[in-house]
Amino acid sequence: MNNPEPDPLKKFSDELHGLATRFADHAVTLQEVIDALGARASALLVVILALPFCSPITIPGLSVPFGLVIAVLAARFALGLPPWLPRRLLAMKLPPKFFRAVLDGASKFIGVIERRLRPRWLWVTETAALRRLHMGLVCMGALLLLLPIGGIPFTNTLPALVVVFGTLGTLERDGAAVAAAYGFLLVTVIYFVVFAGVFIQLIERVWHWLGF
């Protein structure tokens, strides 16, 4: 993911189909996935781990570890460091048929990505400094994703969209996709703030009703 060059997505769905076939019947570690993906492994892994939260196939309990992996990879890119994950994360296992579930649940979304993503608004991604800034945005989305509040509608979906659009927009030099990622981040922050305010008010009312 370090300094990615313009390289039209090699049919992102094909990458996923290959993984779904290769790891169809057994759990797979992140290290095995990285080895299978090759040169663009870090960037594609970030997107793959965020995709389940963009659709109704969200898998309970995975937003925290997935968000952590995404945050580490994105933060290192933003700091200009080579991709790296600690051994404990590399040994983390994905459930059997995970990639098939991603394909089945997010196929329409993946199709939209493949049809619409292209180099444009190049001034948004033309320098390494800007690309690092955008991956800092992805890191922020990942930090929001890993918050253990996935049972609340859209608290996983919105940060995941920040991650997917920010990463692919940066990778493919699509400034419009990057701009969309910033928009999703703004909506996410507003949503979280509003929810926090409502939650605090509810607690205060319950506290008052109990006579404290």
Q: What is the average per-residue pLDDT within 157-184?
A: 90
Q: Residue 149: is its pLDDT beyond 80?
A: no
Residue in 99, 175, 187, 106 with CA at minimum distance from that of residue 141:
187
Q: Residue 192: is its pLDDT beyond 50?
A: yes
pLDDT in tens, 62-75: 778 888 888 888 88
Phi-psi region of 28 (alpha: psi -120 to 50; beta: other; left: phi over 0): beta
Tokens of 135: 């991956």
CA torsion, points 64, 105, 17, 35, in degrees to nearest 10?
A: 0
Question: What's the chain's average pLDDT?
Answer: 80
Which has more confidence, 188 or 115? 188
Q: In this structure, are residues 1 and 83 in contact, taking their beta carbons and an 8 Å threshold? A: yes
Which has more confidence, 62 or 190? 190
Q: What is the pLDDT of residue 177?
A: 92
Angle, CA 44 vertex, CA 38 and CA 50 arms, to 5°: 150
Q: In this structure, are residues 45 and 73 in contact, taking their beta carbons and an 8 Å threshold? A: yes
Q: How confident is the model at residue 163 (pLDDT cuts 50, 70, 90)?
A: very high
Question: How many residues are listed for the chain in this entry?
Answer: 212
**Residue type (1 letter), 113:** I
pTM of the full predicted structure? 0.81
Please enumerate in sequence order all residues whose Cβ is within 8 A of that of 192, keeping only pairs 6 or more positions apart, or say none: 144, 155
pLDDT in tens, 5-39: 444 455 777 778 888 888 888 888 888 888 887 76
CA torsion, points 182, 184, 186, 190, in degrees to nearest 10?
A: -170
**DSSP strands (E only) in 58-108:** 93-94
Which has more confidence, 95 or 187? 187
d(CA 169, CA 38): 20
Q: Residue 205: is its pLDDT beyond 70?
A: no
User: Hunting for tokens 């992140």 — which residue is that?
Assistant: 30
